[in-house]
Structure 1
Amino acid sequence: MAHKGYDEGCLAAHALDLIGDRWALLVIRELMLGPKRFGLIKAGLPGIASNILTRRLADLEANGLVERRALTPPVAALAYGLTPAGLDTRPVIDALCRWGLRQPGHDPRKFISPTGLMLSMAVMVRPVAVRAEAAFALGAESFETRLGPDGFSARPGPGDALPLRFAGSGNTLAAAVYGSAPLRAHLAAGRVHLTGDPAAAQRFLDAFSLAPKTAA
């Protein structure tokens, strides 16, 4: 059930009235990089029941954070996307990632959604001098990504023309991005697949680390 609100004038309480229900912020997370159909949102949140997801989407729509959109052909279907106010929660999600990194108990073996991985990479990146591009194919979702002096960005797309293409699940690619084993070990074990130059791919992944960042 949705909470009834905090009945306070505090701005933090007001924000929690809008996004503080269980799953609400994770639903927003799944839409942060672009609109999705109901089933794809559900795939990124395997622990949520369909009726709860329906309710959260309705609540977020009522609060002006989510809107329904018609996808253009060849996929003529209803999707959900974030409004400008919904997109403005990105710094909140980024801050939660940074804060969670410093807290004990994180278990990277638990499910990691494709979008969750892309958002974490944008937070855990070490900007590099040379620009690079790579595609990430994670089951039903694919992303075109760019790395450079301004950090890391991702958007939905097949990335067929990009020089590097990583393929795997959210968890196997997270292990390749953040783990201590080199990329060649993941490739040899068949956990990750790569199209492109392995040395360039390793350099791309070396820009990311779960080591806590020190504030400038």
Structure 2
Amino acid sequence: MKKNIKEAIIEAAIKLFNSNGYSGTSIRDIAGYANVNSATVAYYFENKLGLLEYCFTHFYEQYLGIMEEEYALVGLGAKDCVKRMTAKLLHYQCDNIHLANVVYREMSLDSQIVREIMSTYNLKEKYYFQKIFEKGMEWKEFQPHSVPYLIIQLKGLLMMPFMNSHYLREVMYIFPNERFFEQKYLNEMYNWIENTLCNGVVVKKEAIL
């Protein structure tokens, strides 16, 4: 029963943070939506900040777990690695669309609270992207590029649909919650990998052994 109550509180917080923003949501709002009293919310999460920290931690622990699993296979090829990683990260975000919306929107506000929560996660994410890009260039799979610029581009592609879905609709005529969005958008990300990152480079197998 306790697990169900906690999950109800989390679902309420994500729903309300997504629709009203973190600053526009109160503990009383969350408690009312979850059909519990405010003391119950405090029992599980102490305060509203505790709920926001949970949202970030839950989102990024799984997100970075995907990156770690795929990076472990980078020896099979950097291009294949970044494609698999991109596909799985996009799928994870689509499967957790409201949570992704909350996390990315609060990140965009650049508050001290968010910087403190995100400091370690950002470093880990940057590390995996950087190592893949560096190995891809070393193995001649990728064209020479500015690695920081590539990281910004790829991260921007991953975040954009969940930060500004209405603008995405204006450009691509589809919302992230629509049925065919994931495959359509993934195809565009693959085009970026092939045409910008790789630029038609043909890799000899021995180059990555």
Q: Tell me which protein shows more helix as a share of its residues.
A: 2
Specify the TM-score bucket, using the shorter chain as the normaliser.
0.3 to 0.5
Q: Tell me which protein shows more strand as a share of its residues.
A: 1
Q: TM-score, normalised by structure 2?
A: 0.33
Q: Which has the higher contact order (CA 8 A, sep 6+)?
A: 2
Greater C-alpha radius of gyration: 2
